[in-house]
């Protein structure tokens, strides 16, 4: 542990050697688990600590303290979080736990009673206070190592932009609102300032995240804040439009099919923001959606998607679905399959229902047996693979812009406008002229699989 420095007169910057500073800087090892929203929390904590002079350690055993940002969304995520805590305890022993699982400290404390602190999600100040107590900062006023855009855990060319915290919906399978509280939106100018800094620092793609992006601003009554020479309302459309002016790709995640989502489709058709919507629909049977207590106008989903495609034919829609929700009958599942065939979504993920402790859906009873859930997932993904393959094959022969995520051995691996990082497909393109990570290049598509595309840089 680093001792608190004795109060001596502040040295001049020129008197300090880099090795002196390094020797006195306390080190933090950080584990970030869970969704992009948790990643943004991690970035904020790290940015704060880095501003105070803490350094990042590559390994737990070389750190003064370890922070584990946990995910508690599903029981499998909780198990992964507990195992990460166990690893940190074994390798270091001085561990602070935060994040979604930190909202239920008893479960963690029972297993690891010697943790230094357990704090809940978004409790940045509590995490920072716990770190101060464990290893006081050796901040040097001459050394501000934090870039203006903060510390990013993502590659330099893309960044997640969190526009709100929490969620005011009460979907019956989800415990996020009880962990993270109701929706709290950031003022539009705050979000835009952060986005502008990121773009100035070289970020080419902004990934807008929250628990419910289309509900942005409802809690603050869409209040205005000053941005450049104008006032901008904290409203989904207004913020999206302004983000679209910054000159980066803007990708919208966690958008529910509320009627006002229609307004942003023309911005996509005009090329202001990416023609991409990540819209977790979870099911298509009105009866199941009612039991799930999902937000949005569920009855008109198909009509809405059709009208969006008329305005913006290139629109790529990504969604996730849950099969085997309590009480899901074979007929309701087939309704979902039929809907999927009609909707022809570009990207789809499917999860078997997991009874998360604390979710109100657990009281519904009538659980679907595990083998039936697995079988439905298999049938669902088989149907979707056929749809995705047909959509992907239609891209062969086309030229499209690709943002390059990695380069190895004469091949660039990147993503089209229809592919978000981590969750969607990859475009693999051979190149002859120099290509670097973060470049946006035009690729001619030559071959297609259900998820990935292959071609060459034009
Ligand atoms: S919209 Fe529903 S699933 Fe998403 S965070 Fe809110 S309550 Fe959970």
Which among 81, 180, 86, 67 is positioned nearest to 132, based on CA atoms? 67
* 282 CA to centre of ligand 1 in angstroms: 11
Query: Residue ranges of the alpha helices (H) in 135-210?
Result: 176-180, 188-200
How confident is the model over 133-143, as pLDDT tens digits?
888 877 554 44
For domain 399-457, the CATH superfamily is Nucleic acid-binding proteins (2.40.50.140)
Does pLDDT of 400 surpass 60? Answer: yes
* 75 CA to centre of ligand 1 in angstroms: 16
Whether ligand 1 lies within 6 angstroms of the CB of 250 is answered as: no
**Contact between 414 and 442 (Cβ < 8 Å):** no
Percent of the chain with pLDDT over 90: 65
From CA 391, how far away is CA 394, in angstroms rounded? 5
How confident is the model over 79-95, as pLDDT tens digits?
889 999 999 999 999 99
Whether ligand 1 lies within 6 angstroms of the CB of 171 is answered as: yes
* Backbone φ and ψ of 251, nearest 5°: -115, 130
From CA 386, how far away is CA 267, in angstroms rounded? 30
**Contact between 203 and 158 (Cβ < 8 Å):** yes
Q: Which helix (H) or strand (E) holds 310?
A: helix 301-311
pLDDT of amino acid 7? 32
* 311 CA to centre of ligand 1 in angstroms: 28
Residue nearest to atom 2 of ligand 1 (CA): 171
* 173 CA to centre of ligand 1 in angstroms: 8
Does pLDDT of 13 surpass 50? Answer: no
Does pLDDT of 205 surpass 90? Answer: yes
Task: Report the residue among 174, 175, 322 best suited for mutation to probe ligand 1: largest number of ligand atoms under 8 A from its CB.
Answer: 174
* 293 CA to centre of ligand 1 in angstroms: 10
**Contact between 179 and 165 (Cβ < 8 Å):** no
Q: Where, residue-wise, is CATH 2.40.50.140 in the chain? A: 399-457
- Please compute the mean of the pLDDT values over residues 203-211 and round it to a whole number: 95
**Contact between 157 and 438 (Cβ < 8 Å):** yes
Whether ligand 1 lies within 6 angstroms of the CB of 169 is answered as: yes
**Contact between 167 and 212 (Cβ < 8 Å):** yes
Does pLDDT of 213 surpass 90? Answer: yes
Whether ligand 1 lies within 6 angstroms of the CB of 456 is answered as: no
Tokens of 238: 């207004």
- Please compute the mean of the pLDDT values over residues 48-73 and round it to a whole number: 86
21-134 maps to which CATH number?
3.40.50.12160
Whether ligand 1 lies within 6 angstroms of the CB of 336 is answered as: no
Percent of the chain with pLDDT over 70: 90
Which region, left, alpha or beta, applies to residue 272 given φ > 0 means left and ψ of -120 to 50 means alpha? alpha
What mean pLDDT value characterizes the chain?
A: 88
Q: Where, residue-wise, is CATH 3.80.30.20 in the chain? A: 158-393
**Contact between 198 and 149 (Cβ < 8 Å):** yes
CA angle 17/21/23 to nearest 5° reads: 110
For residue 174, the ligand 1 atom closest to its alpha carbon is: 8
End-to-end CA distance of the chain: 55
Give the Å distances, CA to CA, from 389 to 225, 425, 442.
Answer: 45, 12, 22
The CATH fold assigned to 158-393 is pyruvate-formate lyase- activating enzyme (3.80.30)
For 182, the 3-state DSSP assignment is coil
């Amino acid at each position: 542990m680093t001792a608190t420095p004795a109060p001596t007169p502040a040295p001049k910057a020129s008197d300090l050697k880099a090795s002196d500073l390094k020797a006195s800087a306390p080190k933090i090892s950080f584990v970030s688990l869970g969704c992009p929203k948790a990643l943004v929390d991690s970035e904020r904590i790290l940015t704060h600590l880095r501003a105070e002079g803490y350094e990042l350690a590559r390994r737990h055993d070389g750190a003064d303290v370890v922070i584990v940002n946990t995910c508690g969304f599903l029981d499998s995520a909780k198990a992964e979080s507990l195992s990460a805590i166990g690893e940190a305890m074994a390798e270091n022993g001085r561990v602070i736990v935060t994040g979604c699982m930190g909202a239920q400290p008893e479960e963690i404390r029972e297993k690891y009673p010697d943790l230094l602190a357990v704090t809940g999600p978004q409790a940045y100040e509590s995490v920072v206070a716990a770190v101060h107590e464990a290893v006081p900062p050796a901040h040097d006023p001459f050394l501000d190592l934090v870039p203006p855009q903060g510390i990013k855990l993502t590659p330099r060319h893309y960044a997640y932009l969190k526009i709100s915290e929490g969620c005011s919906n009460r979907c019956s399978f989800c415990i996020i609102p009880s962990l993270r509280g109701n929706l709290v939106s950031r003022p539009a100018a705050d979000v835009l300032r952060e986005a502008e800094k990121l773009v100035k620092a070289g970020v080419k793609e902004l990934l807008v995240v929250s628990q419910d992006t289309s509900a942005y601003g409802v809690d603050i009554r869409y209040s205005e804040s000053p941005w450049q020479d104008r006032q901008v309302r904290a409203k989904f459309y207004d913020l999206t439009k302004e983000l679209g002016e910054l000159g980066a790709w803007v990708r919208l995640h966690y958008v529910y099919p509320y009627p006002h989502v229609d307004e942003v489709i023309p911005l996509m058709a005009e090329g202001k923001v990416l023609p991409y919507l990540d819209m977790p629909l979870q099911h298509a049977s009105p009866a199941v959606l009612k039991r799930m207590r999902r937000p949005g106008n569920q009855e008109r989903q198909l009509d809405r998607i059709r009208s969006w495609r008329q305005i913006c034919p290139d629109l790529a829609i990504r969604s996730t679905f849950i099969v085997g929700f309590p009480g899901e009958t074979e007929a309701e599942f087939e309704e979902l399959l039929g809907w999927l065939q009609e909707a022809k979504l570009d990207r789809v993920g499917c999860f078997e229902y997991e009874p998360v402790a604390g979710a109100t859906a657990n009281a519904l009873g009538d659980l679907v047996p595990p083998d039936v859930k697995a079988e439905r997932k298999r049938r669902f993904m088989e149907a979707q693979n056929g749809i995705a393959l047909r959509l992907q094959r239609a891209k062969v022969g086309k030229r499209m812009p690709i943002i390059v995520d990695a380069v190895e051995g004469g091949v660039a691996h990147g993503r089209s406008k229809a592919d978000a990082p981590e969750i969607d497909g990859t475009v693999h393109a051979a190149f002859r002229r120099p290509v670097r990570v973060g470049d946006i290049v035009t690729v001619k598509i030559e071959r297609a699989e259900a998820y990935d595309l292959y071609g060459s840089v034009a």
